[in-house]
Structure 1
Amino acid sequence: MTANHTPHATRERVIDMETVGRRRTMKADRIAPLLTAGDPLADAVIAEFDLYGPEARRALDAGLRKGLARLDERPPEAVAALLKQVETTPDWVDPLMLHRGDVVSLSVPPLWFGLCSITSALVHACASPAGARQLIRTDRPTPTISRRLVETGVWARQTVRPGGLLRGGPGYVATVEVRLRHARLRAASLTDWNMGAPGLPIGQLDMARTWLGFTLIAFEALAAVGIDITGEEEHHLYRYWSYVAHLLGLDESLYKDVADHADARRLKDLLDAVTAAPDDGPRAATAALVGAQAHTTAHAPGAILPEEQLRDLLHGVLRRSLGNLAADRLGIPGVPAATDLMPLISTVNRQARYWQTFSPASAQAARRQAAEEPGPGPGPEPIAVVLPLGIALQRGTSVHRSATPTA
């Protein structure tokens, strides 16, 4: 990490300290250090992997699945420290919440979870030039983008499933693996990163963008297709994903006060204030993400829309969820009114969700039907269609519609 660094022609990040200083949620003296903050525990594990080789890797794998106390031999120091941190469950975590899983994300039908949640989350992450640079590292970005879509979808479903984040569960293990992948990317990037420019690659602020992608950004995209959630569901969502942030190694100050979409928007505004405007990298990454998702969905079993229409649909979702100004900066084209399917889709989804949550009986029937349908992926994975909270969402219950930003 002390090797010489090749300067970049342009700065990877910019920071408006005056704007940040006016934020009530986090002052400039707090956000500035996070520009160059990584994840010391995970970074140290990567160093031990390089030093000890497969022995350290096997120790971590065993520790994640069995627990630190059940290992036959004491693992290397950094591996032990990371295991101790992820096994220390914060006192605000409700064990029943982990057994239920992310009940809000599980309420989203698999098709829309993939099209809206996964795509918009990755587009938001790569809207930062620093993030896009990590996503497109070759002259042939399409295979990398397609693989990232699949990997992200698998991780997200493992993370939200009931019991997925319990110690040793698939989401628990996969989330720590994502954390270590970030650390590996940081280590690789530092060999040619301009350390004089603010912004560590895949550091705390990039991880915060990723976290917002699967909370605020994903559900603004879902709202664009008529899948709204209530204020109570927002609180469930952020409580669950706060624990995901803990496992990802995110600085607690970035997420501890985020309890709903309004709080998340304030954090997003703060991150946007310290992030450079999109350049050719984010625009290329966005186009590749949309193209790969449209291609994959159009060729999936049971597909009902051709690739071109799916691409238009994704453009419409992203423009409504990100706002016209941000969409223009990312090169996301508008959709002609004559071919825009969004009004019809949002109406159908909103009506379907209303009847599915009309009464406890209808909600139970919808969950039972969804459980019999395999989700997308390598094997059957039932995904509920409505919120499995045991809460009667009676007719006339007010639904908080996530605001869609405009230019």
Structure 2
Amino acid sequence: MTDTTVPTRPGVPTSLRRVDDARRRFGAFAETYLDAMWDGDPPADAFVADVPRLGHGRAMRLLRTACREGIDAVPDAPDSLRALFAQLDDVPGWLDAERIDHDSRHVARYTRQSGIVLGAASLVSGYANSAASRPLEMTGRYVENAGARTIEVASWLAAVSGPGGLDRFGEGFELTVRVRVIHALVRADLLRRPAWDLPAWGLPISQAYLAYTLVEFALIPMRGMRAIGAPFRPHERAASYARWRYLGHLLGIRADLLPVDEADQERLEEIYLLTRPPVDEFCRELVASINREFLVAEIEGLLPPALRGSVGRGAPAVVHGLERLFLGDEISDELAIPRTRVTGALRVVGPVLGAVHAALDRVPATLAPRAALGRRYQRVQEERLRRTWGVEHDLVDASPAGGRPHPARGDA
């Protein structure tokens, strides 16, 4: 099966809950969202359908050349690749990359906090959905490789969020396009597997769940940063939503699902949370894996020695406290995240730190030096993480062979 837009919808995926409530609350948008459960990414899916004929290695080389030099530099490009880049190179009139960069120029001052929020809020929030997280289970990409995948995501985010991160021939553009094709490769692979329950889960990496990833990387992080005392200023928040609107366009998200601003992201989050399939044991194992294999070790290294305690008390309690702060008790209970008094302490400390940082932010002369320190910390931290976890590649399509095969490498 290579056509990953289902022509005859089987109905609402059976794993979804409270669908009638969603229709009452969201009206026409509910139908758009539910319909998107059956849509993939036609341009990227068409290119992936050509990969067996081209050969995986050659197809990915053609893709990289088109990213780095333009589609005209690929004289033997298949029609599917030309169609994909016709869409990618059609820059929306609403994009103002220069303003986004200008308004984001000091956000790196909160680099330390953003790393915590990425792991304990952005990534974990997606695991409270047994259908959306199923591709990770079936490709073995997280339980077996929590550290590597977290570094891959962080590296992509750093590339797209820094100065020039949206430039057509920049690293961020190429990585985003490759993420899009990785999604299509995984989608095609899972649709060939009898274990993929299409009526229950909808299309793998559907438009509906793909759109929600923008919430994971914009709305949820900004809310999490505010909770731990690192609030962004209004123009910085607006720039983040504008950045992720364009990245969503590059990722192939449908225009009628693509959130424009904070209100759109909030609406998308509300319908997602209302209808999400229930947590299952794999969701809980995903969270346990990222905690055990990555977050606890990282927090252990950040805590002052006096606060570390034993491995069983200090860092795990902080990680669980952060997750409960970010996710709330309902989802945390479903994910079996232990309760800890740290959550209450964070709720007290966060506003105090927020007031201190907001006062600093009102002194313009502090912004550039703090941002420079944040960028330096980011570089040092990435180098350390890569050494610690033995990661030399950028994305999974470039990861070394060995272990469980993965469709993005062409060895599945």
Which band: TM-score by shorter chain?
A: 0.7 to 0.9
1:186 shift after superposition: 0.9
- The amino acid that maps onto 1:279 is D
| Stretches of structure 2 lacking an aligned partner (at least 5 in a row) | 4-12, 386-412
Residues 150 and 296 of structure 1: CA distance in aligned 2, closer, same or farther (over 3 Å): farther
User: Does structure 2 conserve the Cα–Cα contact (< 8 Å) formed by 1:135 and 1:145?
Assistant: no
Structure 1 distance, partners of 2:300, 2:14, is: 37
What is the TM-score when the length of structure 2 is the normalising length? Answer: 0.80
- The amino acid that maps onto 1:319 is R
Structure 1 partner of 2:203: 200
User: Does structure 2 conserve the Cα–Cα contact (< 8 Å) formed by 1:106 and 1:160?
Assistant: no
Matched, 1:335 2:340: yes
Deviates more, 1:278-287 or 1:300-309: 300-309
Residues 199 and 241 of structure 1: CA distance in aligned 2, closer, same or farther (over 3 Å): same
Aligned-partner SS, 1:22: helix
Structure 2 partner of 1:228: 231
Residues 179 and 101 of structure 1: CA distance in aligned 2, closer, same or farther (over 3 Å): farther
Residues 332 and 88 of structure 1: CA distance in aligned 2, closer, same or farther (over 3 Å): same
Structure 2 partner of 1:209: 212
User: Does structure 1 conserve the Cα–Cα contact (< 8 Å) formed by 2:279 and 2:334?
Assistant: yes
Deviations 1:69-107 (A, max 9, x none): 3x1514111111111211111100003035548547534
> What are the equivalent positions in structure 2 for 1:203-352 lying under 5 Å apart?
203-256=206-259, 258-260=260-262, 262-298=263-299, 306=308, 308-336=313-341, 341-343=345-347, 345-347=349-351, 349-352=353-356
- The amino acid that maps onto 2:184 is A
RMSD over aligned CA atoms reads: 2.9
- The amino acid that maps onto 2:319 is L
Structure 2 distance, partners of 1:21, 1:229, is: 34
Structure 1 distance, partners of 2:97, 2:221, is: 25
**Count of aligned pairs:** 368
> In the alignment, which of 40, 49, 52 is matched to residue 50 of structure 1?
52
Structure 1 partner of 2:130: 129
> What are the equivalent positions in structure 2 for 1:91-170 lying under 5 Å apart?
91-97=93-99, 99-100=101-102, 102-103=104-105, 106-109=108-111, 111-137=112-138, 142-170=143-171
Give the structure with the larger helix fraction.
Answer: 2
Matched, 1:88 2:90: yes
Structure 2 partner of 1:367: 371
Residues 354 and 278 of structure 1: CA distance in aligned 2, closer, same or farther (over 3 Å): same
Structure 1 distance, partners of 2:47, 2:106, is: 33
Structure 1 partner of 2:405: none
Structure 1 distance, partners of 2:216, 2:177, is: 18
Deviates more, 1:118-127 or 1:36-45: 118-127
| Stretches of structure 1 lacking an aligned partner (at least 5 in a row) | 4-10, 381-407
User: Does structure 2 conserve the Cα–Cα contact (< 8 Å) formed by 1:12 and 1:130?
Assistant: no
1:289 shift after superposition: 1.6
Structure 2 partner of 1:402: none
Structure 2 partner of 1:378: 383
Deviations 1:165-211 (A, max 9, x none): 21121111111111111111111111222233352111112212221
Aligned-partner SS, 1:236: helix
Structure 1 distance, partners of 2:135, 2:119, is: 17
Aligned-partner SS, 1:129: coil
What is the TM-score when the length of structure 1 is the normalising length? Answer: 0.81
- The amino acid that maps onto 2:295 is A
Structure 1 partner of 2:10: none
> In the alignment, which of 60, 64, 68 is matched to residue 71 of structure 2?
68
Structure 2 distance, partners of 1:335, 1:183, is: 40
Deviates more, 1:204-213 or 1:87-96: 204-213
- The amino acid that maps onto 1:30 is T
User: Does structure 2 conserve the Cα–Cα contact (< 8 Å) formed by 1:36 and 1:203?
Assistant: yes
Q: Between the two proteins, what is the percent identity of the paired residues?
A: 27
- The amino acid that maps onto 2:367 is A
Structure 2 partner of 1:187: 188
Structure 2 partner of 1:14: 16
Higher relative contact order (CA 8 A, sep 6+): 2
- The amino acid that maps onto 2:85 is L
Structure 2 distance, partners of 1:158, 1:105, is: 14
Structure 2 distance, partners of 1:320, 1:115, is: 12
User: Does structure 1 conserve the Cα–Cα contact (< 8 Å) formed by 2:128 and 2:279?
Assistant: yes
- The amino acid that maps onto 1:232 is H
User: Does structure 2 conserve the Cα–Cα contact (< 8 Å) formed by 1:119 and 1:293?
Assistant: no
Deviates more, 1:171-180 or 1:94-103: 94-103
Residues 379 and 159 of structure 1: CA distance in aligned 2, closer, same or farther (over 3 Å): farther
- The amino acid that maps onto 1:211 is L
- The amino acid that maps onto 2:176 is T
Structure 2 distance, partners of 1:354, 1:265, is: 24
Residues 267 and 2 of structure 1: CA distance in aligned 2, closer, same or farther (over 3 Å): closer
1:225 shift after superposition: 0.9
